[in-house]
Amino acid sequence: MTTTKPNDLFHPSAEVVAQANVQDYEETYLRSIEDREGFWAEQADTLSWYKKWDSVLDESNAPFYKWFDGGEINIVDNAIDRHLNNANRNKMAIIWEGENGQVRNFSYNGLNREVCQFANVLKSMGVSKGDIVTIYMPQIPELVFAMLACAKIGAVHSVVYGGFSTEALASRIDDAQSRVLITADGGWRRGKAIDLKSIANDAMMRSPSIEVCICVKNNELDVEMEPTRDFWLHDLKALPIASSKCETEQTSAEDPLFILYTSGTTGKPKGMLHTHGGYAVYTSTTHRMAFDIKPQDRWWCAADPGWITGHSYIVYGPLINGATIMLYEGAPNYPYPNRWWQIIENYGINILYTSPTAIRGLMRFGDRWPQKHDLSSLRLLGSVGEPINPEAWRWYHHVIGQDKCPIIDTWWQTETGGFMICPLPITPLKPGSATKPFFGNEMTIVDDDGNEVAANEEGKLVISNPWPGMARTIFKDPERYQDLYWKQTDDGSWRYLAGDSAKKDEDGYIWVIGRMDEVLKVSGYRLGTAEIESALVSHPEVSEAAAVGLPHELKGNAIHTYVILKQGIAPSKDLALALKEHVAHEMGKIATPEAVEFVESLPKTRSGKIMRRVLKARALGQDEGDLSTLEE
* Residue from 262, 324, 473, 534 binding ligand PRX (CB under 6 A): 262
* CB-nearer residue toward ligand PRX: 125 or 384: 384
Query: What ranges in 20-153 are assigned the alpha helix state H?
Result: 25-34, 36-44, 75-79, 108-124, 141-152
* CB-nearer residue toward ligand PRX: 107 or 354: 354
Query: What ranges in 367-439 are assigned the alpha helix state H?
Result: 368-371, 390-395
Establish if 414 lies at the interface with ligand PRX (CB under 6 A).
yes
* Residue from 165, 413, 435, 523 binding ligand PRX (CB under 6 A): 413
| 598 exposure class (CB count in 10 Å sphere: 0-12, 13-18, 19+) | middle
* Residue from 153, 223, 289, 384 binding ligand PRX (CB under 6 A): 384
Which amino acid type is present at position 292? Answer: D
Between the two ends of the chain, the Cα-to-Cα distance in Å is 54
Establish if 515 lies at the interface with ligand PRX (CB under 6 A).
yes
CB of 465 to ligand PRX, least distance (A): 18
Residues in contact with ligand PRX, shown as a per-residue x/- string from 431 to 450 under the rule CB under 6 A? ---x----------------
Identify the helix (H) or strand (E) that includes residue 241.
none
* Residue from 163, 387, 437, 593 binding ligand PRX (CB under 6 A): 387
Span from 138-146, 214-222, 366-374, 384-392 in contact with ligand PRX (CB under 6 A): 384-392
* CB-nearer residue toward ligand PRX: 512 or 563: 512
SS3 480: helix
| C-alpha closest to that of 197 among 136, 132, 118 | 136
Establish if 164 lies at the interface with ligand PRX (CB under 6 A).
no
Query: Phi and psi for 527 in degrees, rounded to 5?
Result: -130, 150
Establish if 417 lies at the interface with ligand PRX (CB under 6 A).
no
| C-alpha closest to that of 185 among 157, 220, 233 | 220
Contact between residue 259 and residue 280 where contact means Cβ atoms under 8 Å apart: no
Cα separation, 614 vs 617, in Å, equals 5
Distance of CA 540 to CAs 66, 448, 562, 572, 580, Å? 47, 41, 16, 15, 14
**Using the 8-state DSSP alphabet, how is residue 83 labeled?**
G
Establish if 499 lies at the interface with ligand PRX (CB under 6 A).
yes
Contact between residue 531 and residue 591 where contact means Cβ atoms under 8 Å apart: yes
Residues in contact with ligand PRX, shown as a per-residue x/- string from 331 to 370 under the rule CB under 6 A? ----------------------------------------
CB of 290 to ligand PRX, least distance (A): 12
SS3 36: helix
Establish if 410 lies at the interface with ligand PRX (CB under 6 A).
yes
CB of 415 to ligand PRX, least distance (A): 7
| 428 exposure class (CB count in 10 Å sphere: 0-12, 13-18, 19+) | middle
* CB-nearer residue toward ligand PRX: 207 or 262: 262
* CB-nearer residue toward ligand PRX: 97 or 386: 386
| C-alpha closest to that of 68 among 89, 93, 48, 90 | 48
Cα separation, 169 vs 181, in Å, equals 11
Residues in contact with ligand PRX, shown as a per-residue x/- string from 226 to 255 under the rule CB under 6 A? ------------------------------
CB of 413 to ligand PRX, least distance (A): 4
* Residue from 385, 549, 593, 603 binding ligand PRX (CB under 6 A): 385
Q: Cα Rg for the chain, rounded, in angstroms?
A: 24
Establish if 409 lies at the interface with ligand PRX (CB under 6 A).
yes
* Residue from 69, 99, 249, 386 binding ligand PRX (CB under 6 A): 386
* CB-nearer residue toward ligand PRX: 503 or 515: 515
| C-alpha closest to that of 289 among 438, 437, 507 | 438
Cα separation, 206 vs 366, in Å, equals 45
Identify the helix (H) or strand (E) that includes residue 604.
none
Establish if 308 lies at the interface with ligand PRX (CB under 6 A).
yes
* Residue from 504, 521, 539, 560 binding ligand PRX (CB under 6 A): 521
* Residue from 188, 412, 438, 562 binding ligand PRX (CB under 6 A): 412
Span from 21-29, 194-202, 220-228, 404-412 in contact with ligand PRX (CB under 6 A): 404-412
CB of 500 to ligand PRX, least distance (A): 5
Q: Is the dihedral of CA 497, 503, 506, 507 positive or negative?
A: negative
Span from 101-109, 126-134, 382-390, 435-443 in contact with ligand PRX (CB under 6 A): 382-390
Span from 56-64, 230-238, 409-417, 478-486 in contact with ligand PRX (CB under 6 A): 409-417
Establish if 528 lies at the interface with ligand PRX (CB under 6 A).
no
Sorted by sequence, the CB contacts under 8 Å of residue 187 that are 6+ apart come out as 137, 138, 139, 140, 162, 193, 194, 196, 218, 219, 329
Distance of CA 328 to CAs 93, 136, 183, 343, Å? 14, 17, 18, 9
Cα separation, 613 vs 624, in Å, equals 8
Establish if 301 lies at the interface with ligand PRX (CB under 6 A).
no
Establish if 496 lies at the interface with ligand PRX (CB under 6 A).
no
Cα separation, 602 vs 461, in Å, equals 30
CB of 421 to ligand PRX, least distance (A): 7
DSSP string computed for 261-273: EE--SSSSPEEEE
Q: How many amino acids of this chain bind ligand PRX (CB under 6 A)?
A: 22
Identify the helix (H) or strand (E) that includes residue 250.
none
* CB-nearer residue toward ligand PRX: 463 or 545: 463
* Residue from 304, 500, 533, 586 binding ligand PRX (CB under 6 A): 500
Under the rule (CB under 6 A), what is the footprint of ligand PRX? 262, 308-309, 384-387, 409-414, 434, 498-500, 512, 514-515, 521, 526
